[in-house]
């Protein structure tokens, strides 16, 4: 009988050490991309910046940000595909911008070097009318995150000056954007579709301003929900509601990105706690009974 009781007690403890429920604590991190001073409008492609944010519980999260461009090739071996290339990441007082030498020097407007007409913003306008080109950011985090909100500004100016972002036939602009998670891209990568990088497009259904109307600009924050956690995210000018959609060019700088990350810890369920208590209680009872039996034997 003593042996059976011992087995029952040990079994209760063993059950208590079986897999338990998982509890996740979610923390929010805000990454601010505004700089104290303006960088150059163009520089060496492939540069990067590291941003760190601290949550309310004191934990930190970091992200490495790089600039990229995707241009639809119309001829050659890659005709009909998007060619991915590294771009220059500009850090400005109003946020992050992207300058790609191949797509940010609009022909016929006297911009000089790439970015000279304010086109160092994250946009979907190429150098010539009818070209298809998208600027985007790649954000590589040190832990899986979900995106919570994105704030961008479409000021229509270059680094706070009064230089128009575009000229010619492109007069209106807004701050529609696309985002998604995927494996990291590389220079020279070709894609038949950008949907593999950008699964979601967000539009505000209205122009932020017009070059002819004085570049009124806008500053919007969009809530982002429902996506699975990932270490690698992309944010770029809209691939869904751009010139081929609402006929308004998209152009902005990235100001603030809020993300959420959670740490999962093992927390016993209520039933597990009950079995643990019963198990240890049973062991205690057996120990006391055994001691009582030993005293009885010696007393007789």
Taking the CB of residue 130, how many other CB atoms lie within 10 A of it? 8
Q: What is the DSSP letter of 199?
A: -
Output the pLDDT for position 217: 63
Q: Scanning the structure block, which residue is given the tokens 């338990």?
A: 20
Determine the Cα–Cα distance for residues 251 and 103; give it in Å rounded to an integer: 13
Quick one: average pLDDT of 114-125? 80
Residues 6 or more apart from 294 whose CB is under 8 A from it? none
Mean pLDDT, rounded, of the chain: 77
Q: Which residue has the higher pLDDT, 24 or 269?
A: 24
pLDDT greater than 80 at residue 84: yes
The distance in angstroms from the start CA to the end CA of the chain is 22
Q: Render 204-267 in DSSP notation, one character per residue.
A: -SS-SEETTTT---EEEEEE--SPPPEEEEEEEE-SSSSTTTTS-EEEEEEEEEEEEEEEEEEE
pLDDT digits (tens, 9 = 90+) for 168-216: 444 567 788 999 999 999 999 999 999 999 999 998 656 665 544 444 5
Output the pLDDT for position 195: 95
Nearest to 110 by CA among 154, 168, 157, 161: 168
Q: Which residue has the higher pLDDT, 200 or 131?
A: 200
Q: Identify the weakest region by mean pLDDT among 53-62, 120-129, 238-247.
A: 238-247
Output the pLDDT for position 50: 98
Output the pLDDT for position 32: 98
Q: Scanning the structure block, which residue is given the tokens 């494996």?
A: 183
Output the pLDDT for position 298: 47
């Amino acid at each position: 009988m003593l042996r059976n009781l011992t087995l029952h007690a040990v079994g209760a403890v063993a059950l208590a050490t079986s897999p338990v429920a998982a509890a996740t604590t979610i923390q929010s991190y805000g990454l601010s991309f505004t700089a104290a001073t303006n960088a150059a409008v163009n520089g060496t492609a492939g540069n990067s910046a590291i941003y760190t944010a601290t949550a309310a519980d004191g934990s930190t999260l970091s992200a490495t940000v790089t600039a990229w461009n995707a241009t639809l090739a119309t001829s050659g071996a890659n005709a009909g595909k998007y060619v991915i290339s590294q771009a220059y990441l500009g850090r400005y007082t109003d946020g992050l911008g992207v300058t790609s030498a191949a797509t940010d020097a609009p022909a016929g407007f006297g911009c000089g070097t790439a970015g000279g007409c304010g086109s160092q913003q994250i946009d979907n306008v190429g150098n010539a009318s009818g070209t298809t080109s998208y600027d985007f950011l790649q954000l590589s985090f040190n832990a899986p995150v979900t995106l919570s909100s994105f704030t961008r500004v479409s000021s229509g100016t270059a680094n706070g000056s009064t230089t128009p972002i575009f000229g010619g036939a492109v007069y209106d602009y807004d701050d529609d954007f696309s985002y998604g998670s995927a494996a990291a891209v590389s220079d020279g990568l070709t894609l038949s579709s950008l949907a593999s990088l950008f699964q979601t497009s967000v539009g505000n259904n209205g122009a932020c301003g017009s070059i002819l109307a004085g570049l009124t600009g806008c500053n919007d924050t969009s809530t982002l929900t429902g996506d699975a956690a990932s270490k690698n995210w992309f944010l770029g000018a809209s691939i869904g509601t751009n010139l081929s959609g609402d006929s308004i060019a998209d152009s902005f700088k990235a100001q603030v990105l809020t993300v959420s990350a959670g740490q999962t810890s093992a927390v016993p369920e209520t039933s597990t706690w009950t079995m643990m208590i019963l198990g240890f209680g049973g062991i205690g009872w057996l120990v006391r009974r055994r001691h009582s039996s030993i005293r009885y034997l010696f007393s007789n």
